[in-house]
C-alpha cells in the first residue's frame, strides 16, 4: 500500500483515506469492496432507485451497483495479474472450507455424547428429540417445563433483583450485539413518500436487504453462543435465518395504527401500506415458507404482543437464529441448548416486566404461536440472490 493520499479522504464515500489503492485514493472499506467485486459483471448488481444512490459513509453499503460504478468512474482498476491472483485465492479458500467441513463431519461422527455444554460443542447431534420442522416444537417445550440455564449463585449488581451473573451476561451480550441489526425508525427529519404500487414497494425493500443482512451477520459474530459453534453450523444458521430475522425485525419500523411499513433510505422515508403485500411481485413463501397474507397477519398480531419493546424482538431474534431444525446441522444438540437459553431468558424477562405468572404464560405462549404462524414449515430458502 502506498502512503500517497494518507491525509486525504476517500474519493468514493468521503471516509478517511487508507492510502492509494487500485489507482485511486480510497478508504479501507471501499478498497476491500472493490477487491471483492471488481471482476464481477455490473449486471450482477441491481439498483432500484435509478442509479442515483448517495455514496457516503452511512449509505455506501446500501447499493452495490452504484458503489461499483463510482469506483470505476473515479479510475479504479485491477491488473490482469491481480485478477489471476484473486481467482487463485478464491479457489484455494473454497477448497480449504470444503476440506474443513469434511473433516469436521468425519471427526464428529466418532465423538461421544455428554450432557455438559463444553462437550456438547464437539458432539454430533443424534436423531433423538423432536424432528418437526417448525416452531411448534418450541411451544411444546415451553409448555412442558422452564428451560434451564446453568445457575451461578452470586448475582451481579446490574441484575441483582433480576438475572444471576450468567443470565445477565448472556442478556447484556445479546442486547449489545443486536445494536448492529437495529432498523432506523426516526422519520421526523425525512421527506416522506407514500408508495402506490407493489412493484415500487418491492424495489425499496429489496434495495435494503444486502445492507440489513450484512448487519445481521455482524450481530451473529458478536454472540459467544454463536462463535463457539463449528464453522459449518455457523454458515447454516446464518444462511437460513438471515431473511427470517430481517422480516421479524421489520416490526420496529411499522406504524401499526395506520398499517404502514416505513423504510428510510438516505433522507427519505418510504411508506408501504400493508395492502401492497397483496400484489407483491414475490411470495413471502419463497423466503420464509409462508404466504403474503399470513405475513400480514403476523405483523398485525405481533403488533399487539411485542408492546413496542425492542428487547422482546431482540430475544426472539436469537430464538430464530438458533433453530435446531435447520438442515444438515453438525451439532444440533448444541444449537438446541443455545436456543433454550434464549427461550428461558425471554420467559424471565416477561415475568420481570409484568410481575404476573398468568400474564407471563399468556404473553410467552402468544409470542411462540406468532412465530409458528410466520414460520409454519421452517423451510426457508436462505438469503435471496
Q: What is the pLDDT of residues 49-107, one digit of tens each?
A: 777 788 888 778 778 888 998 998 888 887 754 666 566 666 766 676 666 555 555 54
Share of the chain above pLDDT 90, in %: 16
**Residue 69 shares a structural domain with residue 133:** no
Looking at residues 135-144, what average pLDDT do you find?
Answer: 48
What does the pLDDT average to over 34-44?
80
* In a domain? residue 253: yes
CB within 8 Å of 316: residues ≥ 6 apart: 248, 346, 367, 371
Please determine, for residue 135, whether its predicted confidence score (pLDDT) is greater than 50. Answer: no
Statement to judge: residues 189 and 299 lie in one domain:
yes
Report yes or no: 71 and 40 within 8 Å, Cβ to Cβ.
no
In a domain, 273, yes or no: yes
Nearest to 247 by CA among 354, 383, 106, 43: 383
In a domain, 87, yes or no: no
Q: What percentage of the chain has pLDDT greater than the value 70?
A: 66
Q: Are residues 132 and 275 in the same domain?
A: yes
pLDDT at residue 136 above 60? no
Angle (nearest 5°) at CA 339 between 379 and 246: 50
For residue 200, what is its C-alpha cell? Answer: 415500487
Domain count of the fold of the chain: 2
Residues 52 and 121 in one domain: no
Task: Mean pLDDT check: name the lowest of 160-169, 252-261, 301-310.
Answer: 160-169
Domain ranges, residue 168:
117-374
Cα separation, 140 vs 154, whole angstroms? 32
263 plus 326 within the same structural domain: yes
Residue at 383 is within a domain: no
Q: Are residues 217 and 320 in the same domain?
A: yes
Same domain, 31 and 163: no
Distance CA 223, CA 246 (A): 17
Classify residue 120 as exposed, middle or buried by CB count within 10 Å of its CB (0-12, 13-18, 19+): buried
Buried b or exposed e, range 152-189, using 16+ CB within 10 angstroms:
eeebeeebeeebbeebbebbeebeebbebbebeeebee
Mean pLDDT comparison of 10-24, 98-112, 185-199, highest-scoring range:
10-24
Q: Where are the beta strands (DSSP E) in the chain?
A: 19-21, 24-26, 191-194, 254-255, 260-265, 268-273
The listed range with the strongest mean pLDDT (51-55, 149-153, 188-192, 233-237) is 233-237
Say which CATH number the domain at 42 has.
3.30.50.10
Based on the fold, state whether residues 274 and 370 are members of the same structural domain.
yes
pLDDT at site 87: 64
Whole-structure pTM value? 0.57
pLDDT for res 97: 62
102 in a structural domain: no
Q: How far apart are CA 25 and CA 384, in angstroms?
A: 33
The answer for residues whose C-beta is within 8 angstroms of residue 90's C-beta and 6 or more apart is: none
Q: Identify the burial level of 372 via C-beta atoms within 10 angstroms of its C-beta, where 0-12 means exposed, 13-18 middle and 19 or more buried.
A: middle
Question: Around Cβ 246, how many Cβ atoms within 10 Å?
Answer: 22
Determine contact, residues 213/383, Cβ cutoff 8 Å: yes
Cell numbers linked to 47: 439498483
Return the pLDDT at 278. Answer: 63
Longest dimension (CA), the chain: 68
Residue 370 forms part of a structural domain:
yes
Question: Residues 40, 165: one domain?
Answer: no
CATH number at residue 326: 1.10.565.10
Q: Confirm whether 96 is domain-assigned.
A: no
190 and 43, same structural domain? Answer: no
Strand positions, DSSP E, 158-310: 191-194, 254-255, 260-265, 268-273
pLDDT of residue 149: 40
3-state SS class at 302: helix
- The owner of cell 484473486 is 86
Question: Same structural domain for residues 156 and 236?
Answer: yes
241 belongs to a structural domain: yes
Q: Do 176 and 310 belong to one domain?
A: yes
Amino acid at each position: 500500500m502506498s502512503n500517497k493520499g494518507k491525509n486525504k479522504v476517500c474519493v468514493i464515500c468521503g471516509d478517511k483515506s487508507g492510502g492509494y489503492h487500485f489507482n485511486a485514493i480510497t478508504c479501507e472499506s471501499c478498497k476491500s469492496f472493490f477487491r471483492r467485486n471488481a471482476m464481477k459483471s455490473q449486471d450482477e448488481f441491481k439498483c432500484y432507485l435509478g442509479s442515483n444512490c448517495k455514496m457516503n459513509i452511512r449509505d455506501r453499503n446500501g447499493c452495490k451497483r452504484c458503489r461499483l460504478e463510482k469506483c470505476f468512474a473515479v479510475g479504479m482498476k485491477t491488473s490482469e495479474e491481480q485478477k489471476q491472483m484473486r481467482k487463485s485465492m478464491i479457489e484455494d479458500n473454497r477448497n480449504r472450507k470444503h476440506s474443513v467441513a469434511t473433516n469436521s463431519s468425519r471427526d464428529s461422527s466418532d465423538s461421544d455424547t455428554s450432557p455438559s455444554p463444553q462437550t456438547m460443542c464437539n458432539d454430533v447431534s443424534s436423531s433423538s428429540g423432536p424432528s418437526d420442522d417448525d416452531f411448534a416444537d418450541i411451544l411444546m417445550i415451553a409448555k412442558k417445563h422452564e428451560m434451564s440455564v446453568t445457575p451461578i449463585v452470586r448475582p451481579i449488581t446490574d441484575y441483582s433483583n433480576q438475572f444471576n451473573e450468567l443470565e445477565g451476561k448472556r442478556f447484556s451480550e445479546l442486547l449489545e450485539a443486536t445494536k448492529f441489526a437495529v432498523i432506523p425508525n426516526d422519520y421526523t427529519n425525512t421527506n416522506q413518500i407514500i408508495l402506490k404500487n407493489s412493484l415500487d414497494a418491492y424495489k425499496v425493500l429489496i434495495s435494503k436487504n444486502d445492507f440489513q443482512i450484512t448487519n445481521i451477520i455482524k450481530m451473529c459474530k458478536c454472540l459467544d453462543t454463536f462463535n463457539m459453534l463449528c464453522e459449518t453450523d455457523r454458515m447454516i444458521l446464518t444462511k437460513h435465518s438471515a431473511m427470517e430475522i430481517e422480516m421479524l425485525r421489520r416490526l420496529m419500523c411499522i406504524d401499526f395504527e395506520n398499517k404502514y411499513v416505513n423504510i428510510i433510505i438516505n433522507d427519505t422515508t418510504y411508506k408501504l401500506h400493508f395492502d401492497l403485500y397483496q400484489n407483491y411481485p414475490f411470495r413471502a413463501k419463497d423466503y420464509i415458507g409462508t404466504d403474503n397474507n399470513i405475513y400480514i397477519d403476523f405483523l398485525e398480531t405481533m403488533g399487539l404482543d411485542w408492546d413496542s419493546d425492542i428487547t422482546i424482538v431482540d430475544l426472539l431474534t436469537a430464538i430464530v437464529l438458533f433453530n435446531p431444525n435447520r438442515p444438515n446441522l453438525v451439532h444440533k444438540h448444541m444449537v438446541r441448548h443455545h436456543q433454550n437459553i434464549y427461550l428461558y431468558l425471554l420467559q424471565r424477562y416477561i415475568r420481570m416486566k409484568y410481575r404476573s405468572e398468568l400474564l407471563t404464560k399468556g404473553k410467552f405462549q402468544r409470542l411462540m404461536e406468532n412465530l409458528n404462524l410466520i414460520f409454519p414449515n421452517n423451510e426457508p430458502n436462505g438469503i435471496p440472490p
